[in-house]
Amino acid sequence: MVIGMITLVTGGTRCGKAKYAESVLDSFEGRKYCIATMGHSGDEAGGVIARHYMLCKDKNFIALNQPRDIGASRIEEGCGVILECLDLLCLNEMYLGADSAADRIIGGIKKLAEKAAELVIVTNEVGSDGINYSHDTMNFIRQVAELNSRIAVFADNVIECVYGIPIVRKGVLR
Amino acid sequence: MKMIIGGAYQGKIRCACEYFGFRESEMVNGSICDFEEVFAARCIKSYHKLISRLLAEGVDPVAFTEKLCEANKDVVIIMDEIGCGIVPVEKAERLRREATGRCGCIIAEKSDTVIRVICGIPSFIKGAPPQV
């Protein structure tokens, strides 16, 4: 099984992760997808998803939205993919069964990586504000951190963005 | 003295086990230990929790940390980075973050090695990996 190049991009909120993720695929020649992970419920969801589709079109990405079951995303062989973002996917999967969410997501990501030549996963650092949240929220923080650590093991590159500056934690800068 | 920091659940304990040969069961747990236990500990985890508990008991965590660094020079201290995000409105929470930051700086200054763990990946932000 050929696994494509995997880059994990992490950092706090608004640290330039998405921009860096796009830059990884700047010179990619094949078809490019950007998979959002937004749920469909709530007043604001429709507008946010529509905006995702519009922004992707401007940047020559094919927009997809896959709130759960990320491995089932309809992408073609040999493509380039940005998955954004992992924490939201984790939250959505946790509604289906909190304790097995990380396993399901890892399985899905490996499926994506079997198809994509280049997979860029955008995640989030949610555990550095020192606040003791409710049990459910702490479980979410734990699962996102676990996912990040598990993906970092098989990812080729792990990049932390700090105010738009990419710092290599594993592999190379793309 | 050595220090391992990072956000919650990043793999700090595993890092301590790998680099310094500890088992988690032999670490003194800052969430529940007696305050005096840390002075003889080889490795302390959740030191940020100990700081909260010291504050709650009216013990000055900065003076306590200075005393710890003086008395236990070979200890490995694991603590969460907690200073990111919004500064809390509640005064006690603000004081806790400040105290944790100050104590962290003292420990980092006294340590020959400081490791920051993110996504399970250690970065040596002070000192170098131990020679194997």
Strands B76-80 and B43-45: parallel
Distances (CA, A) of B86 to A14, A125, B66: 14, 14, 28
Tens of pLDDT along B16-55?
999 999 999 999 999 999 999 999 999 999 999 999 999 9
For residues B132 and A144, give the distance between their C-alpha atoms in angstroms, rounded to a whole number.
Answer: 32
pTM of the entire predicted model: 0.82
Helix (H) or strand (E) holding A93: helix A86-94
Residue contact A151–B118, C-beta within 8 A = no
Closest partner residue to B82 (CB to CB) among A129, A153, A170 is A129
Q: How far is B62 from chain A (nearest CA, A)?
A: 18
Tens of pLDDT along A22-71?
999 999 999 999 999 998 777 777 888 888 888 898 899 999 999 999 99
Residue contact A129–B80, C-beta within 8 A = no
For residue A160, the one-letter residue type is: E
Tens of pLDDT along A120-130?
999 999 888 88
pLDDT above 70 (res A1): no
- Measured in degrees and rounded to the nearest 5, phi and psi for residue A85 equal -130, 160
Res A47: pLDDT = 83
Judge whether A125 and A86 are in contact, CB under 8 Å.
Answer: no
Res A132: pLDDT = 86
The percent helix, strand, coil of chain A (3-state, each to 5) is 40, 20, 35
Question: Three-state DSSP class for A9?
Answer: strand
Question: What is the average pLDDT value for chain B, to the nearest integer?
Answer: 94
Tens of pLDDT along A77-93?
999 999 998 999 999 99
Q: What CATH code is assigned to A5-170?
A: 3.40.50.300
Q: Hey, what are B17's tokens?
A: 């086990």
Q: Residue A154: its chain B contacts at CB < 8 A?
A: none
Tens of pLDDT along B59-76?
999 999 999 999 999 999
Of A100 and A79, the structure prediction assigns the larger pLDDT to A79
Residue contact A128–B84, C-beta within 8 A = yes
Confidence bin at B132 (pLDDT 50/70/90): low
pLDDT above 90 (res B79): yes
Domain positions in chain A are 5-170
**Residue A101 in contact with partner chain B when CB distance is under 8 A:** no
Res B62: pLDDT = 96
Alpha-carbon torsion A132, A133, A137, A139, what sign?
A: positive
Q: Residue B121: its chain A contacts at CB < 8 A?
A: 152, 158, 169-170
**Which residues does B contribute to its contact with A (CB < 8 Å)?**
6-11, 48, 80-86, 88, 93, 96-97, 100, 118-121, 123
Res A90: pLDDT = 96
Q: Mention every residue, 6+ apart, whose C-beta is less than 8 A from residue B10.
A: A127, A145, A148, A149, B117, B118, B119, B120
Q: Hey, what are A44's tokens?
A: 């604001």
For residues B13 and B123, give the distance between their C-alpha atoms in angstroms, rounded to a whole number.
Answer: 14
Residue contact B82–A128, C-beta within 8 A = yes
Judge whether A142 and B8 are in contact, CB under 8 Å.
Answer: yes
Residues present in chain A in total:
174
Question: Three-state DSSP class for A82?
Answer: strand
Closest partner residue to B10 (CB to CB) among A138, A149, A151 is A149
Confidence bin at A156 (pLDDT 50/70/90): very high
SS (H, E, C) chain B: CEEEEECCCCCHHHHHHHHHCCCHHHCEECCCCCHHHHHHCCEEECHHHHHHHHHHCCCCHHHHHHHHHHHCCCCEEEEECCCCCCCCCCHHHHHHHHHHHHHHHHHHHHCCEEEEEECCEEEEEECCCCCC
User: Nearest-CA residue of chain B relative to A14?
Assistant: B85
Residue contact A169–B118, C-beta within 8 A = yes
Confidence bin at A135 (pLDDT 50/70/90): very high
pLDDT above 90 (res B114): yes
**Residue A68 in contact with partner chain B when CB distance is under 8 A:** no
pLDDT above 90 (res A98): no
